[in-house]
Structure 1
Amino acid sequence: MGEDRAALCGHRVIDAYSGRMLGQLGLPAGWRVGEACLERLSSFERPLQVRASVAGPHGETISFRSGERYLSSGVALKGMNVLAGLYGVASSAQTEERAYAAAAPFADAEAAALARGMGASVALLEARRYPGLDMPSAEQRVRMEANNDAALQGARFASVRVGVTAALRVYRLATPDGRELRACVMAIVDGYETGVGAASMSEMGERVSSAIGGLVGRLGGGASTWWPRTQQTAAPAAPAAFGTPGAGEVVVWGPRNLATLVCEPVHLEEGIRAMEALVATYRPDAAVGQEEMATKHNLVSAQQQQAVMAQQRQQAQFAAMRQAVNMQRQAIDDYQRAAQARSDAQWAAERARSGVGADSGADWTDRFSDAMRGVTTWVRPDGTEVETSTASDHAWADEHGNVVGGSGGFDPGAGWTELHQK
């Protein structure tokens, strides 16, 4: 920072709605803190954000916000918040899904949004070195935050990579009324990338396979393999550049202490010095930090309750499926028994129409069997039975037991005895 901090004036950041103190910062003489507020965000990593406006002596304005967090997840984790949550890789299902952007493109997007709000056009004039950034310390801070968040949630990370980028970029704004202004965005974009790795992704799949296979096995007597077992031995892919998550990875990222300046061109340098002083000296109030930690604990508790409820719903669905299968089996059994009863009744009615008594059912059954096989059964004089084709309506036997069948006026002659049909 190009200005001695001893020369700065201390300011308190006061919430315009509650009157509570949100933090403190230092500004050059003539600058003052305007309206400020505490916002609650749908993010586990950054559940609270301080916003403040700062005004300069010549009409300069600085918009400040303390930080945000977004999520960028790999394709295998999209739509799998429950499974990813088991491993802490998608630490907050509430966090906004947004593609990672380094500090320079993030600053350009902020400048473009500012210009749209003013109805102005915007053009980049220059990029400057971000002042006073100690990169090793910044990376260590991000790693510590990642580890603390993981410990709070009981997450199981296979790896953690951190990334820090910074930008200070100056833009020209041309307003619809013909004025030319200057804008400057000062941003640090940092975050961490986690991955469950190939082995853990296979373990995740095996858990799902085991759960589904167990259900199918109980219902159908078999097993199911939902997740390819070859993934257990697949070599992990080479890591891509930070911010480009692989299939089983997620990036938690966002701006830290972002400041945007708008001023007349002649006051640009003075405004940049004030913006640098603000970012370098901002310290959140201890009570805000305590509330942030309490919010994280509440989110973790809520997620755990939701997980228990989801498990209970799943168990209830499995029980309903088992009941439905059992009811279906019972319905099939009832239908088969009813069909058998109808068949027996029809059989009995047919026998009654054929003049077959209840005590001669066996004889009727034998005739039915003969008809199905295309034969006629005859009885020899010695009481033995013999079969002929149904084409013969008469049959004769000689003294040696030989049998001949015929129809119409066929007569085998002397020595043959006509047989009676069974």
Structure 2
Amino acid sequence: MHILELNDDCFGHILKFLPIQDHINVSQVCTVLRRAVQIWANTLYPTFYVNEIVTEEFELNTLRKQLTLLSILHGCIRTLAVNINHVDYHFYSSKQACSRNDQLSREEMNHKYLRLFRQKLEEPKELIPIDGFCNIIRKMQSLESLTISKNSFFYIPNPKIVNETILALRGLPKLRSLAIKTQLDINIDDLCEIKNLDTLHLEGDKNIDYLVKYCKSNGNLRVFHLHNCKINGNLIDIVPHCSKLEEISFRLCKDSNLYIKLADLPNLRTLHIRNLIDDNMSTFLKAFSQKQLQSLKFIETIVGVEDTQQIVKIDTLREIQLIFDDPEAVQLLAQLTKLQVISVKFRGNAGDFCAVALKILNSNRCLKYLRIAPDLGEEFRKDAFQLIKSIRNPEKQKPLHLEMPDIVRLSQDEEKLLDAKYMTFNRLPFYRWKSK
């Protein structure tokens, strides 16, 4: 049999075992093989990454390969993530460069990366050809989601690549999600030209007028992530222009009572708050008691008894992520009996929370996912495993996903109590706990 006689499934199976350079080579053989790679593009690359951080020659070669393959698959890729860590050398004078290097030295950064950083300042070069990259973006008619991020402390991204990319997105018919995870200023007029988004993630300092202008330009916005934004002004000003908004995340930097009008969003279902002040939020939460809120997450703040008393009145909740230091507050959660996802952290004596944690588990018989930190001890785990087996019906329910920090090591007795029909047990690294 000739290779061109293989069907698409066979081609796809072979392509899964090949590196990116082979995908490029195969695509350049003939139109039949190129079509096979294009058909399998979103299976091979569920998220297509273009990573611009360069510390070694092989990584620069990888970047070139990524851009070459993207130019081949541009019409097929649905999800694209671009990591811009390029130094815009023209913004640095000799004095600024020395200042930045001195700062890095004081912070005792890794000498290898510091040497490379200095070398890049002295020998500027363009890593991503911006015009060519944006030409590719304009042709990505299947693109549904784009993430632009900066993950490296050592690199200052070139603002031109972000703004030019935003301009290139205009007119893409299927684009629905845009995440700009950098502190760079984005031209609001260019952003307003992208009117078909239903998900938008922004970071950095943003004036409320900036956000209002975008919300006015796009009445279809459903998800608005602002938890890494420092907003100058009051977020409630967007409420009249976001009638379809279902999910919002934001920093709470002022009195929570100033945000009460967020409860007027008619379709709001998910509320994620990064609380940066020590504030009683009971009045704010009371405004949501008669709403259809389904998911509530507090990041970096402890929930007290008064706050929890208002939370349990939101009987439509199906998902919570909260931090407690008082067992009395935790015990109140047992009043919510329809929760499907529970993620809780306890601060204080872990032994004080064992009984109330079991009570919550017992009251939520439809629970799908339980995430607890820190480790509450072997006795708690044994009791929890036995309770799960006694209250769940494996013929009608899928196994409960139980997750604890990776420091947990199950004993032989605990291993015997684990039953895959009733539950699965996973350990999650500490940094993942911190980020969620």
TM over 0.5: no
Which structure is larger by alpha-carbon Rg, 1 or 2? Answer: 1
Question: Taking CA–CA contacts closer than 8 Å with sequence separation of 6 or more, which of the two structures ends up with the larger relative contact order?
Answer: 1
**TM-score, length-scaled by structure 1:** 0.18
**TM-score, length-scaled by structure 2:** 0.17
